[in-house]
Structure 1
């Protein structure tokens, strides 16, 4: 998770925006086209997107018509060729703010920071079955092994409820009659440690004595590319 993805084809301006945001303590990445942004967003996350409307290839507005940002992602339009129609359409497509070139870098920084503070917060975790990741509310992606993915998938189907060990074994693709429960204990211990080390969050995996395990936080399962 970063603070700002800057999609701007003018290399000097892109570098200036990214450098300024980084100097102000924010995490920022610069890209030169929406095609590159789309590839980046397929495996990464950002709190805000700064999007130039006049880009090589697919333009900013054209991209927004089919790729609206997620509800919890802020969108700031930057352009040197404003028009009332473009401003209205950009707002309709989800833009939170609109900055006109030449840009004042101090204003850009304040706009990004203020927008991040206004973004809705969530306490929900996301289990991404397509990319084998678990994403906590803070946004970091935790890469999972096949066993970790199967284990969490079993728990995520009934968040807050105790899931029987036999049910978990089925999600692990193992045979109940020959499965060594000590393997599950090791799996859980390592997974808890992994989540806490990589996210800084207390692991929501709890032991349900005599039954199995539970995931004691809100969680959704993303099974398709669109989540």
Structure 2
């Protein structure tokens, strides 16, 4: 199971999308035609398909007409085609989202993450402040350090919203004027890896460039009991 199958015949764009998704902690591969995608899907699974409409051989819309996406698989159309009719037909045929070229790669990543967490079977995470644990929708626990707990607490208060780095620093109990932002980058990289390795789920921590970070999935906070 991977997170994103990118079906795009423009090799440079395909590489850019796949590389960006992988840098953001998502498992992604790229293929150049729906025929190649069909062969790959015969033996593998993906949570999302990013599908270009204008492909060599069978086009994206033709493929959607003859292949109903699996219930657990989301479809994101990526195309330079401006036609509203094409967008409507793609959604009618089961596409979940539609991105217009030229693409904003940060938007692509956010769209993939959000779709993954909207798919059937996806439910909320839990941040247990008492026991310093993040619990995945599958029930898998991730034990946290004090810094990881503070970081996630800052994000979990406003899931889906970009939280400013200065706000996160306060939750880390650090001094904003002397805090080295590289420490936060290392913290996030290690935390993403820990979440994915221990839960088998894609990390819901998203970089909001120029602002900070966001937690892109539903999450509830189990509060520390009153004393």
Pick the TM interval, shorter chain.
0.5 to 0.7
The CA deviation at 1:70 is 0.3
Shift of 1:72: 1.2
CA distance in 1, matches of 2:45, 2:34: 15
* Equivalent position SS for 2:98: strand
Query: Which deviates more, 29-38 or 67-76?
Result: 67-76
Which 4+ residue blocks in structure 1 deviate beyond 6 angstroms? none
How many equivalent residue pairs? 128
Which protein is bigger by CA-based radius of gyration? Answer: 1
Three-state SS of the structure 2 residue aligned to 1:86 is helix
SS state of the match for residue 110, structure 1?
helix
Across the aligned residues of Structure 1 and Structure 2, the Cα RMSD in angstroms comes to 2.2
In the TM superposition, what whole-angstrom CA distance separates every residue of 1:51-96 from its partner, at most 9, and x where no partner exists? 0000000000001100121011010000001211111110001011
- Whole-angstrom CA distance in 2 between matches of 1:90 and 1:82: 13
TM-score by length of 2: 0.54
TM-score, length-scaled by structure 1 = 0.54
Could you tell me which residue of structure 1 aligns to residue 74 of structure 2? 74
2-structure distance, mates of 1:82, 1:46: 27
Match of 1:114? 114
1:91 aligns with: 91
The CA distance in 2 between the partners of 1:101 and 1:68, in whole Å, is 24
Measure the CA separation in 1 of the matches of 2:44 and 2:12: 24
CA distance in 1, matches of 2:62, 2:68: 10
Q: Which runs of 5+ in 1 are unaligned?
A: 123-137, 139-199, 202-227
